[in-house]
Structure formats: C-alpha cells, structure tokens
Amino acid sequence: QQPVQSPQAVILREGEDAVINCSSSKALYSVHWYRQKHGEAPVFLMILLKGGEQKGHEKISASFNEKKQQSSLYLTASQLSYSGTYFCGTEIQGGSEKLVFGKGTKLTVNP
C-alpha cells in the first residue's frame, strides 16, 4: 500500500529542473506532497485531489493522473533552498483518512 517514489535521489545544479514521481497500486483519493530538510519537520507543499487540477506554487507544481494512480512533482529552475527530502503521502479512495507516505526522494541542489 506504500506508494513508490522515484528516483530515490537526485542531484542538480542550481537552475536545473527535476521531476519526482509517486505511484500507487491502489485507487487514490488524494496525494499530499511534503518537503523535509535534514533535522527538521516535514513542511506541506500541496494537496492534489481526485478530479482536481494541477496545482502550482511558484516554481513547484504537481499533477495527479487518476487513471495511472500517479502523481508527479515538478521543480523548475531549482534553488539551493529546494534541497531536502520530498515525500508523497497518499490517501486511498473510500476515505481511509490515513496518509501513507512513500520512502522519500532526496534532492540535492548544488551551486
């Protein structure tokens, strides 16, 4: 039931783009994205709901493909502050009210 995130790690230079994927074997109702910096708490990025639109926040956006039960997080023109581990949390259809998180994708942005 745990979603699978890919890649496990990615290293970028400042200004480059990245895509992080999250796949589930279950039909999903919502996908939540969080970023966690080393030694800190996870911080919310966005929620995507079934039937909802692609969301965006500055240079970070995400999509939700309901047919494939996949979500992708797009980071464009990456900044040093984007470094951290990105987690997707999925809620399966039927209103389980439980978020199941993937193992995370470690993003490192170098100057």
Partner 1 sequence: DSGVTQTPKHLITATGQRVTLRCSPRSGDLSVYWYQQSLDQGLQFLIQYYNGEERAKGNILERFSAQQFPDLHSELNLSSLELGDSALYFCASSVPPGLAGGEQFFGPGTRLTVL
Question: Is the CB of residue 62 less than 8 Å from the CB of residue 76?
Answer: no
* Distance in Å, CB of 98 to partner 1, minimum: 5
- If binding is defined by CB under 8 A, does position 25 make contact with partner 1? no
Q: Could you say which of 32, 60, 84, 105 contacts partner 1 (CB under 8 A)? A: 32
- If binding is defined by CB under 8 A, does position 106 make contact with partner 1? no
Q: Could you say which of 30, 70, 71, 78 contacts partner 1 (CB under 8 A)? A: 30
Q: Could you say which of 70, 73, 86, 102 contacts partner 1 (CB under 8 A)? A: 102
Comparing CB distances to partner 1, the nearer of 15 and 103 is 103
- Separation of alpha carbons 4 and 96, rounded Å: 19
- Separation of alpha carbons 24 and 42, rounded Å: 21
Which residue, 48, 38, 78, is CA-closest to 60? 78
State which amino acid sits at residue 2: Q
